[in-house]
């Protein structure tokens, strides 16, 4: 009889330990899922990148060189231009927000993007007045207006006065300096509902 009780107790213990193990696995899975759903507010290896911090970024060119991928550094800090028709954002119509790839500053919303046919992603309006800095650019024998990120002064591209209404402006932007984040499903649903009305 004693043996049977011990045996039963042993069985119960095994059962309990199995159960607790499966619960902790479930909790772990839940945790991983919620972490994946969080938008990337920071970027690994780039200490100045933040989608929530609006403070100006002023670091040396040497530091930028260390933290930016070479193609982003070439456009952002050396005012380079990517080859036309090479950006994945050139023909891209997902709903969401475009951020500065160097510092995370919000620059454009997808509903101000349009197909200009010029070979680079084009927008007719920035997200806010302070998201962009305008500088006269007289290089290459042309009179143009350079647009830079309002937070980190990264070179983004140029703005021209041949865009569509309501602004008549065409912000011609290097795709390599843009990070895209899809709008949350809730936002999308809200817009679709508005269209139906
Ligand atoms: Zn920036």
100 DSSP β-pair partners: 178
pLDDT exceeds cutoff 80 at 95: yes
The answer to whether residue 141 is domain-embedded is yes
The answer to whether residue 32 is domain-embedded is no
172 is catalytic: yes
Q: CA-CA distance, 168 to 1, in Å (whole number)?
A: 92
Cα(118) to centroid of ligand 1, in Å?
23
Give the CATH number of the domain where residue 109 resides: 2.170.150.20
In contact, 56 and 151? CB cutoff 8 Å: yes
The answer to whether residue 171 is domain-embedded is yes
Domain that holds residue 158: 61-188
Cα(151) to centroid of ligand 1, in Å?
5
The answer to whether residue 149 is domain-embedded is yes
Give the mean pLDDT of 132-159.
97
Q: CA-CA distance, 56 to 63, in Å (whole number)?
A: 15
pLDDT band at 42 (very low <50, low <70, confident <90, very high): confident
Catalytic pick among 100, 103, 149, 172: 172
Residue predicted with more confidence, 183 or 123:
123
pTM strictly above 0.85: no
pLDDT exceeds cutoff 90 at 50: yes
The answer to whether residue 130 is domain-embedded is yes
Give the mean pLDDT of 64-86.
97
Q: CA-CA distance, 180 to 123, in Å (whole number)?
A: 14
Cα(175) to centroid of ligand 1, in Å?
13
pLDDT exceeds cutoff 90 at 24: no
Cα(24) to centroid of ligand 1, in Å?
42
The answer to whether residue 75 is domain-embedded is yes
Strands (E), 56-143: 96-100, 106-109, 113-114, 122-123, 132-137
Cα(105) to centroid of ligand 1, in Å?
5
Q: Can you read off the two tokens belonging to residue 93?
A: 């119509």
pLDDT of residue 8: 47
The answer to whether residue 49 is domain-embedded is no
For 70, 72, 116, 122, the CA distances from 91, given in Å and listed in that order, are: 24, 20, 10, 10
The answer to whether residue 142 is domain-embedded is yes
Q: CA-CA distance, 115 to 132, in Å (whole number)?
A: 21
Domain count, the chain: 1
pLDDT of residue 18: 42
Cα(90) to centroid of ligand 1, in Å?
20
Nearest to 123 by CA among 84, 81, 156, 155: 156
Cα(8) to centroid of ligand 1, in Å?
66
Nearest to 39 by CA among 109, 99, 127: 99
């Amino acid at each position: 009889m004693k043996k049977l009780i011990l045996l039963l107790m042993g069985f119960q213990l095994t059962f309990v330990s199995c159960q607790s193990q499966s619960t902790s696995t479930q909790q772990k899975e839940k945790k991983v899922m919620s972490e994946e759903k969080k938008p990337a507010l920071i970027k690994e290896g780039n200490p100045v990148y933040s989608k929530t911090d609006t403070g100006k970024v002023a670091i040396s060119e040497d530091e930028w060189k260390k933290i930016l991928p070479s193609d982003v550094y070439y456009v952002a800090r050396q005012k380079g231009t990517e080859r036309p028709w090479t950006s994945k954002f050139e023909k891209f119509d997902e709903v969401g927000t475009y951020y500065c790839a160097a510092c995370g500053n919000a620059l454009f919303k997808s509903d101000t993007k349009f197909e200009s046919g010029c070979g680079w992603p084009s927008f007719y309006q920035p997200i806010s007045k302070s998201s962009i800095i305008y500088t006269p650019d007289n290089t290459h024998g042309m009179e143009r207006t350079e647009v830079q990120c309002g937070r980190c002064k990264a070179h983004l591209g140029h703005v021209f006065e041949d865009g569509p209404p309501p602004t008549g402006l065409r912000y011609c932007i290097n795709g390599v300096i843009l990070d895209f984040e899809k709008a949350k499903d809730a936002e999308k649903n809200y817009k679709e509902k508005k269209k139906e009305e």
